[in-house]
Chains A and B, each alone.
Chain A
Amino acid sequence: MRTKIVAALAAALLALPLCAETIVIRNATIMTVTHGTVKGSIVVKDGKIADIGEKVMEPAGASIIDAGGQYVIPGIIDCHSHIAVDGGVNEGSVSVSSMVDIKDVINPEDISIYRALAGGVTSANILHGSANSIGGQTLVLKMRWGKSAEQMIFEGATPGIKFALGENPKRAGNPAGGRGATGTTVQARYPATRMGVEDTIREAFTEAKAYKAEWDAYNAAVARGEHPIPPRKDLKLEPLKEVLEGKRYVHCHSYRADEILMLIRVADEFGFKVRTFQHVLEGYKVAKEIAAHGAGGSTFSDWWDYKVEAADAIPYNAYLMMKNGVISSLNSDDAELMRHLNTEAAKTMKYGGATETEALAMVTLNPARQLGIDKRVGSIDVGKDADLVIYDKYPLSDYAKVQKVLIDGAVYFDRDKEVSAQAAKMAEKEKLVEKLKQQQQAQGGRGGRGGRGQ
């Protein structure tokens, strides 16, 4: 019986956001990001925004969301997150871990996804950690809670790779040299200095260029009608080859101005682009150079001094980078902060004096541009994905609460439904805990039995 109920619930959950119906959001204050604030309605059809305006044609049979007194903004996009990852975010054993791919370990049932959704986040760039000069492959997810890992992937988004500069990758003893925990002697991992970080990246791209040349020669031979044995496919060098070919974005963890300039020089030398500098706390010092390279900057609002290399951070960073021509965004790097990126954006209005639209763009349109997904998301425009957040109050405020979140025109979070369901969920959980405790007592407290032979 219980199994049946669980099965029915699961089936219901699966069915929930499947079909995007036609929806009209009425009487809202719509902050479009691209063309100001509009009072009126949004029509959502086939997962896309079909119409926006004071007066719209409401399709027959559309479900109506009355957003009287409420605000609608584009779904928030977090350019730097580590949620929804199984089994560790760092492959920290080696200096270059580009062979690993976040895509392999997405956990669509991580509750952080739902919580981020409840904070208005509809897309996020899921990154490998910063333990390596060149880290693992990254990808963009839509927070389609209830779907499989594959179904959460932002289809068509250019994949990325994580780089990292400074203290994290150079940390001598990562892992520790000398006698490790297992008692065996291990080497400390290279590099241990900022010079070594640069050398690691240089060496990897030197290898990648040779690798690319090998494949280019092979492909040319095949094109000539020859049948050579293909080169060995190297999962470490494949993504770097893609970076050289412009098929994969580099998202680089960085703090200091000198190391930011260093990577720009290395990238220019090897002929690739850095798509974004992440954290980029001293970006305001070298904003012109970052802009000239064509890179974006994704930073924290007002988080600094937590280590030496973060000492020169200032809360004006995002604003100053923007004013100097850098596409700037604010990211979370954290499952909790991810839930209120709207207030992070609001801080740029205080620190620097960003306009409402400029501030909002820091967590919507700008990260969309940084991730190359701005044709699909990032603003409220006809033809874009209906990824929308409805707040009860002015969104650039601490008092605003997310009421509903739509992705692809389907409601994935509904505050009223969530709140009203909580009591029942708690009761169900208590009942289950009680049942398990009784089972344990019945077995004479042999919890954990079911032994392992021997």
Chain B
Amino acid sequence: MIAIRNARIVTVSGPVLAKGTVVVRNGLIEAVGENVAVPADATVVEGDGLTVYPGLIDALSTVGIPGAAPAATAGRGGRGGAATPATPAVNPLAAAAPAARSMGPEDRPQTTSWVIAADEIQPTDRRIETVRAGGITTAVTFPTRGIFGGQGSIIDLGAEEKAGAMVVESPVGQYIALGRGGFGGGMGGGFPGALMGVIAYVRQVYLDADHYKLVKEAYAKNPRGMERPQYDRALEGVIDSKRILLPANRLVEIDRMIHFAAELRQPTILYGMHEAYRPEAAELLKKAGLPVLVSLHWPTPPAGPDVHLDEESMRQLETYDQAPAAAAALQKAGVKFAFYSDGVDAPRDLQRAVKRALDAGLTREQALRALTLTPAEIYGVADRLGSIEKGKIGNLVVTKGDIFENSTRVEVVIVDGKKYTPASDSSGGRGMTAEAPGGEQ
């Protein structure tokens, strides 16, 4: 049991407590308030001068799945596309991808829709410790290879021995990517090779899923005399997905994916949002009523002697300049949005990235909500995550100073009621050590 007393407590769901106490027992928040007694058997953290926040949630990540590409970019055909990290050999999903060139949608190319992140989690992934040092206690982690990458799971980032102990909710949705980079869509990659091929493929899969359901229902009702429907794991995975994530960065992509989501008739989250600073984009999203995930990997102009920025389009230059204003624009328009790290999850990098959104007009409260309660709401787990409330999961971040300031130190991170203290050098950007292996209960 842990009690943090006399700290400033930012509950997110309610008012900020100037001087309060929060008690965490058996992994849950037992009490929070200004007049909460500290139980005698609690490990006490003296909170004078400290602030307590709910644990941060990375709304789209690959943490916990070693060898996976860092949460994929929403794709600008190559630009800013990350080099795929080495170690494909250890990736259990790579083996699932068909080796032969696909000749059409029926071959289910680049599809592992049945894969569920929770089944692939490896508690030994070193990134877990790194991102936790920055205050991220929870990740919505996805298998991201291919077009239908697979289904995500919400995991708490404690130092657990068993992956099962980390899983909060699973599965939470299907990750769909439409880019070509990184999954062999080019020479010899087979169908689909162009963006319109990928879109046609996704459309065909959903048509097939509808048909598959019809045939299966009919067969279940009366199998006698009816040809047995063939089992299709790709369609099973798609049907099991309670929502889908679709990529959209540019305004044209946002418009395109809003139309596509309506056509597919699936609950949809859009991710990316590089051009969501444009008023037309926020307006379209508001009208469509879709929640969005804003990448914290802001588009950055290339540097170097061979770079000639004046040769880039005005739109591209404007996007370098304005992208971090997306969050404020969405907030103003009343669009539900959460942040996701998009690979920018080392502690100092995360702070810097959020700072740019603040500089572009977002308030600290709004930024915090986009990393706590809003992602919890988007994924339907606000009953257990996202704020400091009695009965919710005991995920907390304790800092000296405001959480999004560069000079701020993360003093303590609590995940599922276990206490972790970042290594003293973690201000440099990475690494954190638990006080004891497995944390301190």
Residues of A within 8 A of B (CB): 2-3, 6-7, 10-11, 14, 85-94, 97, 99-102, 104-105, 107-109, 111, 128, 136, 148-150, 175-176, 180-182, 184, 186-187, 229-230, 232-236, 425, 428-430, 432-433, 435-437, 440, 445-454
Give Cα A454 to B180, complex, Å. Answer: 22
Task: Find the residue from A6, A149, A437, A450 having the highest chain B CB count within 10 A.
Answer: A450
Contacts of B102 in A (CB 8 A): 93
10 cross-chain pairs, A with B, having the tightest CB-CB distances, nearest first: A447-B303, A87-B195, A180-B188, A88-B194, A452-B343, A186-B188, A91-B197, A100-B196, A93-B191, A452-B82
A362 to B309, CA, bound (A): 41
Residues of A within 8 A of B215 (CB): 229
A130 to chain B, nearest CB (A): 14
Select which of B188, B198, B310, B361 is within 8 A of A176 by beta carbon.
Answer: B188
Complex A-B: 21 CB contacts under 8 Å:
A6-B322, A14-B280, A87-B180, A88-B194, A91-B191, A99-B105, A100-B200, A104-B195, A128-B196, A136-B196, A149-B256, A150-B255, A150-B259, A176-B188, A233-B211, A429-B314, A436-B309, A447-B307, A448-B302, A452-B82, A453-B345
Contact yes or no, A149 B188, CB < 8 A: no
The answer to whether A451 and B344 have CB atoms under 8 Å apart is: yes
In the assembled complex, the Cα of A57 lies from the Cα of B343 at a distance in Å of: 66
One digit per residue, 1 when the CB lies within 8 angstroms of any chain A CB and 0 when it does not, for chain B 63-104 equals 000000010000001000011010000000000000101111
Question: CA A32 – CA B221 in complex, angstroms?
Answer: 67
Cα A235 to Cα B104 in complex, Å, equals 11
Establish whether residues A425 and B192, one from each chain, have CB atoms under 8 Å apart when the complex forms: no
Cβ contact within 8 Å between B103 and A94: yes
Q: Is the CB of B77 within 8 A of A3?
A: no
Which of chain A's residues has its CB closest to B99's CB? A184
Q: Which of B252, B298, B309 contacts A437 (CB 8 A)?
A: B309
Q: What is the distance, in angstroms, from B227's C-beta to the closest C-beta of chain A?
A: 11
- The interface size bin for chain B is 35 or more
Interface-central residue, B102, B187, B211, by most chain A CB under 10 Å: B187
Q: Given contacts A99-B104, A436-B321, list 7 more A-B pairs with CB under 8 A.
A: A7-B279, A88-B193, A102-B196, A105-B195, A149-B256, A180-B189, A182-B188
- Interface majority SS (helix, strand, loop, mixed), chain A: loop
Given known contacts A99-B105, A186-B101, A453-B127, is B321 in contact with A435 (CB within 8 Å)?
A: yes
Q: How far is the CA of A102 from the CA of B322 in the complex (A)?
A: 30
Determine if B277 is an interface residue (Cβ-Cβ < 8 Å).
yes
Q: What's the nearest-Cβ distance from chain A to residue B287, in Å?
A: 12
- Stretch of B13-21, B202-210, B364-372, B396-404 that contacts chain A: B202-210
Whether the pair B214, A3 counts as a contact (CB closer than 8 A) is no
Binding site for A on B (CB under 8 A): 70, 77, 82-83, 85, 99, 101-105, 127, 130, 180, 184, 186-201, 203-204, 207-208, 211, 214-215, 218, 250-252, 255-256, 259-260, 277-280, 297-298, 300-304, 307, 309-310, 313-315, 317-318, 320-322, 325, 329, 341-346, 349, 353, 360-361
A92 to B280, CA, bound (A): 34
- From B196, B256, B321, contact of A91 by CB (8 A): B196
On whether the beta carbons of B277 and A3 are closer than 8 Å, the reply is yes
- From A87, A150, A445, A448, contact of B194 by CB (8 A): A87
Set B208, B300, B329: member contacting A448, Cβ < 8 A: B300
Known: A87-B195, A91-B196. A109 touches B211 (CB 8 A): no
* Chain B residues closer than 8 Å to A107, beta-carbon distance: 252
Q: Say how far A3's CB is from chain B's closest CB, in angstroms.
A: 6
Interface centre among B189, B208, B346 (most CB of A within 10 A): B189
Q: Shortest CB–CB separation between residue B27 and chain A, in angstroms?
A: 27
Decide: A94 near B191, CB < 8 A? Known: A10-B278, A449-B300: yes
- Judge whether B104 and A432 touch: CB under 8 Å: no
Nearest B residue to A441 via CB reads B303
Q: A93 to B252, Cβ gap below 8 A? A: no
Once the chains are docked, how many angstroms separate the CA of A104 from the CA of B127? 38
Chain A residues lying within 8 Å of B260, measured Cβ to Cβ, are: 104
Chain A residues within an 8 Å CB radius of B195: 86-88, 104-105
Partner of A232, one of B194, B208, B278, B314: B208
Instruction: Find chain A residues with CB under 8 A from B297 CB.
Output: 450, 452
Contact in complex: B77, A87 (CB < 8 Å): yes
A89 and B194 within 8 A (CB): yes
Q: Given A436-B301, A440-B301, A453 and B313 touching (CB < 8 A)?
A: no
Question: Would you call A451 and B349 a contact (CB within 8 A)?
Answer: yes
Of all chain A residues, the one with the shortest Cβ separation from B279 is: A7
Q: Is the CB of B85 within 8 A of A454?
A: yes
Closest chain B CB from A361 CB (angstroms): 33
A417 to B114, CA, bound (A): 56
Contacts of A436 in B (CB 8 A): 301, 309, 317, 320-321
Q: Which residue of A lies closest to B280 (CB)?
A: A10
Which of A232, A235, A451 interacts with B211 by CB under 8 Å? Answer: A232
Nearest residue (CB) in A for B429 is A451
Q: Give A187 to B208 CA distance when docked, in angstroms.
A: 27
Cα-based distance from A230 to B201 in the complex (angstroms): 20
Distance between B185 CB and nearest chain A CB, rounded to angstroms: 8
A236 vs B106: C-alpha distance in the bound complex, in angstroms? 11
- Whether A180 and B218, one on each chain, are in contact in the complex, defined by CB atoms closer than 8 angstroms, is no
Shortest B213–chain A CB gap in Å is 11
Among A14, A150, A235, A454, residue most surrounded by chain B Cβ atoms (within 10 Å): A454
Give Cα A208 to B304, complex, Å.
54
Would B310 and A430 count as touching, CB distance under 8 A? yes
Q: Which residue of B lies closest to A190 (CB)?
A: B103
Please report the C-alpha to C-alpha distance between residue A10 and residue B315 in the assembled complex, in whole angstroms.
Answer: 12
Closest residue of chain B to A90, judged by CB?
B194
CA distance A130 to B310 in the complex (A): 34
Distance, CA A435 to CA B309, complexed state (A): 11
- In the bound complex, CA of A186 to CA of B184 (Å): 12
Q: A99 contacts B200, CB within 8 Å? A: yes
Is B313 a contact partner of A111 (Cβ separation < 8 A)?
Answer: yes
B residues near A14, Cβ cutoff 8 Å: 280
Interface centre among A14, A186, A453 (most CB of B within 10 A): A453
Distance in angstroms between the alpha carbons of A453 and B278 in the assembled complex: 28
| Nearest residue, chain B, Cβ from A11 | B279
Taking A91-B194, A432-B321, A433-B310 as contacts, is the C-beta distance between A451 and B343 under 8 angstroms? yes
User: In the complex, what distance in Å separates the CA atom of A88 from the CA atom of B197?
Assistant: 9
List B contacts of A93 (CB < 8 A): 101-102, 189-193, 197
- A-chain residues with CB within 8 Å of residue B321 when the two chains form the complex: 432, 435-436
A180 CB to nearest chain B CB (Å): 3
Given known A235-B204, A451-B343, contact A182–B184 (CB-CB < 8 A): yes
- CB-based nearest B residue for A425: B314
Quick one: closest A residue to B69, CB to CB? A452
Determine if A235 and B318 form an interchain contact, defined as CB atoms under 8 angstroms apart. Answer: no
Bound-complex Cα distance A87 to B105 (A): 18
Are A432 and B280 within 8 A (Cβ)?
no
B257 smallest CB distance to A (angstroms): 11
Tell me the nearest residue of chain A to B344, going by C-beta. A450
Residues of B with C-beta under 8 A to A91: 191-194, 196-197, 200
Pairwise interchain contact B197-A149, C-beta atoms closer than 8 A:
no
Closest partner residue, chain B, to A435 (CB atom): B321
Nearest residue, chain B, Cβ from A89: B194
Q: Which residues of chain B come closer than 8 Å to A88, judged between CB atoms?
A: 193-197
Q: How far is the CB of A186 from chain B (nearest CB, A)?
A: 4
